[in-house]
Every structure is written in structure tokens, then in C-alpha cells.
Amino acid sequence: MADSDLDNSPAVRRLADWDDETLGSLAEEYDTPLYVTDLDRVTENYLRFSAAFPEAHVMYAAKAHTGKSVLESLLSVGADIECAAWGELQRSIDAGADPNTLQYTAVNPPDHDLDYAVDLADNAPGLTITIGATDTLDRLQERGYDGRIAIRINPGIGTGHHEKVATGNDAKFGIPYEQVPEVADRVREEFDLVGIHSHAGSGVLTDDLEDHCRAIERVGEMARRVGPLEFVDIGGGFGVPYHEDEPPLDLEKTAEMVREAIGEIEAQLKLEPGRYIVADAGLILTTVNTIKETPSATVVGVDASLATLIRPAMFGSYHPMLNVTAPEREAHPVTVGGPVCTSADVFATDRPIARPERRDVLAIGNAGSYGYELASQFHSQPRPAEVALEDGEARVVRRRETLDDVTRVEQ
């Protein structure tokens, strides 16, 4: 991508910026519910973020969207991949990643995960394993591993859009701050200590940066205490605006505040954006099947559900919605829900949307991050297809599941 193309790439892509006619055609051709991922937007977002941190090594946090087409697109523009589980390691390799460039952030890793990582490192000594518990060091030693280790720090400060993602103050994640120097001494004796790592939380926007940078300051302080190091990894967590009236993350201000917070370090700065790269590059198309007028609400039933997108049910997340079929109609407040038998299966309550009618196609925006990754087969619903857009062309990158796919593993 040329620099001029990147300059013309907006900091956030709103749902209204998608082409209604294109989306309607995709729904007609591929049926709904349907995930749509714009791979050009994925690479634009990565390149924009990287340009804001020219001195840093920017990796992609695969857990946000591990689809092969997304990984291939990011690898093609020079991204490396950070993985949180063995399956993400394997899928990154399948997409073309050099295992020597991968970073595996182990959180209470099952035995199978550690077995896989250690076996992988036998032939890929550049693989880095990030540990968040001394118990993991013991288990790695039992497997004969003495390679590259990064220590995940718990800075005692959590940030982000929801308490369930404020990992920087959650005992589940990382070595307690004051224990890090002692653990670093042990790692140097028994392994190859190459870095320290921290991740304060997710969904951080400009107004959250002060808290986020307080956590980064503590990481910088610890880096100076336990150095020398090859790298200092401050994780990701940088967000996108889900509400239409929220401003996008100010990347220039973010980069300036991060540099000031980390301070002088004799190490490579690493960042691991995930949500920022893929969130506004993806959406869901869903078809209206029911309109029900009640004394308290107009209920619009659609064929997507919490099995398609669980974020509203899990986090109370807001996702913008648009009537693709008739955006010009007068907006009416409606409640939009799916076919799952729980009150949690609701995408919007009293949301003004161009008055939906049966067979209209609605779009649910900002679904590219932690959308398909958290999709399930609840109610024996096969998971949806995913179509990728690239250079003006559409192609199926994940076929629609069938009931045979749902039941195949049963015996």
C-alpha cells in the first residue's frame, strides 16, 4: 500500500461508511447470518498503527480474529503474530508465519499447550514463551525447555471498556509486581530472559490513556530494574469507538503518551494491537424474520443470535446497527433480538433504526474483533459463513456450517 493510500484511510470506519448496495448483494448471494471482513481495511489499520510507532515492533494479537485470511493479509505487510494458545500458534504457522517470530503468551497453559510450544521451539529456537506464573517455569523445566522467556508483569492497574477485560489488576494475569526481580534472577539462571510483558486491559480510547499509561510507567520502571533486556512488551488494548458519537483513538497523542510513560529503556519496545486492527474491518449481516408490536416495545426478530455475536450478552457491549435494505426510512426505536431462548439474546434495546420490515437485512457493525472468535453452536445452530472483501472482490473464506458439522464429533 502506498503512503498516499494510508493517508486517505480514515482513523475509524463507521458502519454508515460501508456500501449498502454491496452489503445487500452479499446477503442475497451468501445468505445470513453472514460475517463480512474487509481485508484491505485490516492491513490499513495495521499500517496506520505501525506508522504511529516507527521505533517499535508491532505484532498482531491473534485472539482478536484468527481467521486464516486475516493472518495471511497481516503477514503480507510484515506483521508478526502474538498467540495466546497452541491453536493460535498452529494457525499462524499454517498461514505462513515463521515460528521463530512467534510469541506465545501462556495464561495457565494446559499441558498440551506447553507440550506443543516446547516441541515447536526444538526446531524454532526464536520462539518466545511469555510466562505469568513461576509454576509455568517449573513445568517448562520438566519438559527440558531452557529457551527464550519473557515475564508477564501484573502492574496492579487495570484499564479498558469492562471489568472483565481489565487484566492489569487481575491476579489471574502475570507475576505480582514486587516479585518480578526475584523471578527475573531465576529465569536468567535457568532460561534465556529476553523480555518483560504487560497488558493492562482492552478497549482503551483517548480518555482512558492516563490510567493506561500509569500501568506502562510501572512496566518501564521494572524494565530498568531487571535489565538488560531484548524487548519490553506493553501489550495491546487500544480500542475503537463502538458508539457513533465516540471519537476515534488519537494515535499521535497515544504514541506520545506511551513514549513518555515507558521512559528511557535499553530494549526494543513491543506492542500487540488486536481489536484496533480488525474491529471496524468486520460486520454481521442478519435478516429480519419477525416484527412484534407490544405495549412496551417493538421487537424485531433476526436470524443472528448471541451464538453469532456474544459481546452484547457477555459485556453489555454496544454495536451500531443499520437497516441495509432501506436506510432512508424514518427511524423508529426498536428492540432487536435473536432466536436463542434467553433474555440475553438482544443486540439493541429501544434503538432508533430505519423502520425494519420482514426480510430486511440489518448490519451489525464493529464485529471484526472477538466476533467469530467467540461464536458458538448454542441451540445446535451451525456457525455462519464468512466472506472476505479484497481489492473489490468477495470470496468465501469460511463456509457456513451444517448440522453435520455440529454433530460430527459425537459418538
In sequence order, the β-bridge partners of residue 332 are: 353
Task: Say how far apart CA 357 and CA 377 lie, in whole Å.
Answer: 27
Q: Is 370 annotated among the ligand-binding residues?
A: yes
Backbone angles phi, psi at 227, to 5 degrees: -60, 175
- pLDDT score, position 204: 86
Task: Say how far apart CA 119 and CA 203 lie, in whole Å.
Answer: 34
CATH number corresponding to 280-407: 2.40.37.10
Task: Say how far apart CA 193 and CA 315 lie, in whole Å.
Answer: 36
Q: What 3-state class would DSSP assign to 34?
A: strand
Q: What 3-state class would DSSP assign to 189?
A: helix
CB-count burial class (<10 Å; 0-12, 13-18, 19+) for 294: exposed
Q: What is the mean pLDDT of each run of 10 residues along the chain (411 residues)?
A: 64 96 98 98 98 97 98 98 98 98 95 98 98 97 98 75 44 90 98 94 81 91 96 94 94 95 96 97 98 96 98 96 98 97 96 98 98 97 98 97 97 91
Q: Is 104 annotated among the ligand-binding residues?
A: no
Q: Is 272 annotated among the ligand-binding residues?
A: yes
- pLDDT score, position 170: 63
Q: Where are the beta strands (DSSP E) in 117-247?
A: 128-131, 148-154, 159-160, 175-176, 192-197, 201-202, 231-233
Task: Say how far apart CA 404 and CA 384 lie, in whole Å.
Answer: 14
What is the CATH topology of the domain spanning 98-273? TIM Barrel (3.20.20)
Task: Say how far apart CA 326 and CA 409 lie, in whole Å.
Answer: 42
CB-count burial class (<10 Å; 0-12, 13-18, 19+) for 102: buried
- Could you tell me the residue ranges of all domains in the chain? 98-273, 280-407
- pLDDT score, position 160: 41
Q: Is 273 annotated among the ligand-binding residues?
A: yes
Active site residue 341: yes
- pLDDT score, position 10: 87
- pLDDT score, position 212: 86
pTM, full prediction: 0.94
**Which of the residues 2, 171, 341, 409 is marked catalytic?**
341
CB-count burial class (<10 Å; 0-12, 13-18, 19+) for 205: buried
DSSP class per residue in 289-312:
EEEEE-SS-EEEEES--TTT--HH
Backbone angles phi, psi at 201, to 5 degrees: 165, -175
Q: Is 384 annotated among the ligand-binding residues?
A: no
**Cell triple for 85:** 494458545
